[in-house]
């Protein structure tokens, strides 16, 4: 029993409608519509369209699976001390942030604080930044800096650096007061 062989092609608005005056004509050498005959032409067109749509469906399913796998690579924790991972090529860009909270802490000189990242950087760290949570000053400014020699995949040290190592004696005080610092670390 002969069958129609479909070809994946889509012709919009062109499925042949057999007219009342069309003779019944099957496939044969010399038959109309390139030998398939007028009676088989609409079936051939629908078979071709079905093959085209089936191919598109399979491509879409594969693309959706790829996109879902890519989206699954985005992970994170939007907590106060959190992170976000973004897939880039074969690596994952990783940004982490947090707060080192020490409300009303009096500092009498340069003071270091160790921070452990929420998660370890798998490969390495590019940069870490920080900013002071201002509380009060006795006339000197404190700067929170990253001790770049201490940065690792799991944490780093941040240093409160006071002018000349100690707060100047202003108004009878020799200290500065802080509430802590915010930090940001970026790596992969």
Are residues 40 and 127 located together in one domain of the fold? Answer: no
Please give the backbone phi and psi of residue 62, each rounded to the nearest 5 degrees, phi first. Answer: -65, -40
Examine the fold and report which residue of 46, 72, 98 is the final residue of a domain before the chain moves on: 72
Report pLDDT for 95.
Answer: 98
Report pLDDT for 134.
Answer: 75
Q: How far apart are CA 14 and CA 71, in angstroms?
A: 40
* Burial of 125 from C-beta contacts in 10 A (0-12 / 13-18 / 19+): buried
pLDDT per position as a tens digit, 10-34: 888 889 999 999 999 999 999 999 9
Are residues 123 and 33 located together in one domain of the fold? Answer: no
Are residues 55 and 32 located together in one domain of the fold? Answer: yes
pLDDT per position as a tens digit, 146-176: 988 899 999 999 998 876 544 444 444 567 7
Q: How far apart are CA 52 and CA 49, in angstroms?
A: 5
Are residues 103 and 144 located together in one domain of the fold? Answer: yes
Number of domains in the chain: 2
Q: Are the CB atoms for 161 and 142 separated by under 8 Å?
A: yes
Instruction: List the domain range (segments joined by +) for residue 42.
Output: 1-72
Mean per-residue pLDDT for 39-50?
92
Q: What is the CATH number of the domain that holds 178?
A: 2.60.40.3940
Are residues 68 and 88 located together in one domain of the fold? Answer: no
Examine the fold and report which residue of 72, 106, 134 is the final residue of a domain before the chain moves on: 72
Report pLDDT for 90.
Answer: 84
């Amino acid at each position: 029993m002969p069958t129609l062989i479909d070809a994946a092609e889509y012709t919009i608005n062109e499925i042949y409608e057999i007219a009342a005056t069309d003779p019944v004509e099957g496939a044969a050498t010399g038959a109309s519509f390139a030998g398939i005959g007028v009676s088989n032409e609409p079936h051939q067109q629908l078979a071709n369209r079905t093959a085209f749509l089936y191919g598109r469906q399979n491509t879409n399913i594969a693309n959706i699976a790829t996109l879902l796998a890519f989206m699954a690579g985005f992970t994170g924790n939007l907590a106060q001390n959190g992170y976000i991972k973004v897939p880039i090529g074969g690596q994952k860009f990783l940004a982490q942030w947090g707060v080192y909270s020490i409300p009303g802490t009096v500092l009498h000189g340069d003071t270091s604080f160790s921070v452990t990242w929420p998660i370890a950087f798998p490969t390495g760290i590019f940069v870490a930044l920080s900013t002071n949570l201002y509380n009060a000053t006795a006339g000197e400014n404190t700067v929170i800096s990253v001790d770049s020699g201490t940065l690792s995949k799991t944490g780093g040290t941040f240093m409160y650096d006071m002018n000349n190592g100690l707060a100047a004696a202003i108004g009878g005080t020799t200290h500065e007061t802080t509430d802590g610092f915010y930090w940001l670390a970026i790596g992969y």
